[in-house]
Amino acid sequence: MSPSFDWWSKDKHRGTPVIVKMENPNWSISEISSPDDGDADEFSGVRKGGREKNAKQITWVLLLKAHRAAGSLTYLASAAFHLAAAVRRRVSSGRTDADESPALRRRFYSCIKVFLWLSIFLLAFEIAAYLKGWHIRAPDLPSISLPSSVGFRSLFVAIYSGWVRFRAEYIAPPLQFLANACVVLFLIQSADRFILCLGCFWIRFKGIKPVANSVSNDVEMGDYFPMVLIQMPMCNEREVYHQSISAVCKLDWPSSNMLIQVLDDSSDPTTQTLIKEEVEKWAETGVPIVYRHRVIRDGYKAGNMKSAMNCSYVKDYEFVAIFDADFQPAPDFLKRTVPHFKGNDDLALVQARWSFVNKDENLLTRLQNINLCFHFEVEQQVNGIFINFFGFNGTAGVWRIKALEDAGGWLERTTVEDMDIAVRAHLKGWKFIFLNDVECQCELPESYEAYRKQQHRWHSGPMQLFRLCLSDIIRSKIAVWKKANLIFLFFLLRKLILPFYSFTLFCIILPMTMFVPEAELPAWVVCYIPATMSFLNILPAPRSFPFIVPYLLFENTMSVTKFNAMISGLFQLGSAYEWVVTKKSGRSSEGDLLSLIEKEPKHHRGSSAPDFTSITKEVVKQSKKEQKKKHNRIYRKELALAFLLLTAAARSLLSAQGIHFYFLLFQGISFLVVGLDLIGEQIE
| Beta strands per DSSP E along 248-346 | 258-264, 289-293, 319-322, 328-329
The set of residues, in sequence order, having a beta carbon less than 8 Å from that of 224 and lying 6+ positions away, is: 215, 218, 338, 339, 342
Q: Of 97, 264, 324, 418, which one is the catalytic site residue?
A: 418
188-192, 270-274, 559-563, 646-650: which has the minimum mean pLDDT? Answer: 646-650
**Does residue 607 have a pLDDT over 50?**
no
Q: Please give the average per-residue pLDDT across 377-390, as a whole number.
A: 95
Instruction: Give the span between the Cα atoms of 495 and 570, in whole angstroms.
Output: 11
Per the annotation, the verdict on 420 as an active-site residue is: no
- Picking from 376, 371, 361, the residue whose alpha carbon sits closest to that of residue 443 is 361
Q: One-letter amino acid identity for 669?
A: I
Q: One-letter amino acid identity for 119?
A: S
Instruction: Give the span between the Cα atoms of 23 and 28, in whole angstroms.
Output: 8
302-311, 321-330, 520-529, 544-553: which has the minimum mean pLDDT? Answer: 520-529
Query: Got the DSSP string for 396-454?
Result: SEEEEHHHHHHTT----SSS-HHHHHHHHHHHTT-EEEEEEEEEEEE----BHHHHHHH
Q: Please give the average per-residue pLDDT across 348-358, as a whole number.
A: 95
What is the Cβ-side half-sphere exposure of residue 256, based on CA atoms within 13 angstroms?
2
- Picking from 417, 372, 433, the residue whose alpha carbon sits closest to that of residue 555 is 372
**Per-residue pLDDT at 214:** 53
Per the annotation, the verdict on 218 as an active-site residue is: no
Strand partners, 322: 231, 397
The answer to whether 175 and 519 are in contact (CB under 8 A) is yes
**Does residue 532 have a pLDDT over 80?**
yes
H or E segment and range at residue 217: helix 216-221
Highest mean pLDDT of the ranges 96-110, 147-161, 330-344, 574-588: 330-344
- Picking from 226, 260, 261, 252, the residue whose alpha carbon sits closest to that of residue 338 is 226
The set of residues, in sequence order, having a beta carbon less than 8 Å from that of 607 and lying 6+ positions away, is: none
The answer to whether 336 and 438 are in contact (CB under 8 A) is yes
Task: Name the residue with higher pLDDT: 613 or 108.
Answer: 108
Backbone angles phi, psi at 435, to 5 degrees: -105, 105
Sorting pLDDT into bands at 50, 70 and 90, what band is 613? very low
Q: One-letter amino acid identity for 253?
A: W
155-159, 409-413, 600-604: which has the minimum mean pLDDT? Answer: 600-604
The answer to whether 527 and 663 are in contact (CB under 8 A) is yes
Sorting pLDDT into bands at 50, 70 and 90, what band is 66? confident
The answer to whether 555 and 416 are in contact (CB under 8 A) is no
Q: Please give the average per-residue pLDDT across 235-239, as a whole number.
A: 88
**Does residue 608 have a pLDDT over 60?**
no
**Per-residue pLDDT at 539:** 92
Instruction: Give the span between the Cα atoms of 238 and 141, in whole angstroms.
Output: 69
56-70, 265-279, 315-329: which has the minimum mean pLDDT? Answer: 56-70
- Picking from 579, 585, 656, the residue whose alpha carbon sits closest to that of residue 627 is 585
Across the chain, mean pLDDT equals: 80
**Does residue 29 have a pLDDT over 60?**
no
**Does residue 391 have a pLDDT over 90?**
yes
**Does residue 99 have a pLDDT over 70?**
no
Going from the C-alpha of 100 to that of each of 514, 536, 573, 640, 643, the distances in angstroms are: 33, 36, 14, 18, 23
Q: Of 97, 264, 265, 326, which one is the catalytic site residue?
A: 265
- List the end-to-end C-alpha distance of the chain, in Å, as a whole number: 67
Our CA angle for 503, 456, 296, nearest 5°, is: 165
Instruction: Give the span between the Cα atoms of 173 and 168, in whole angstroms.
Output: 7
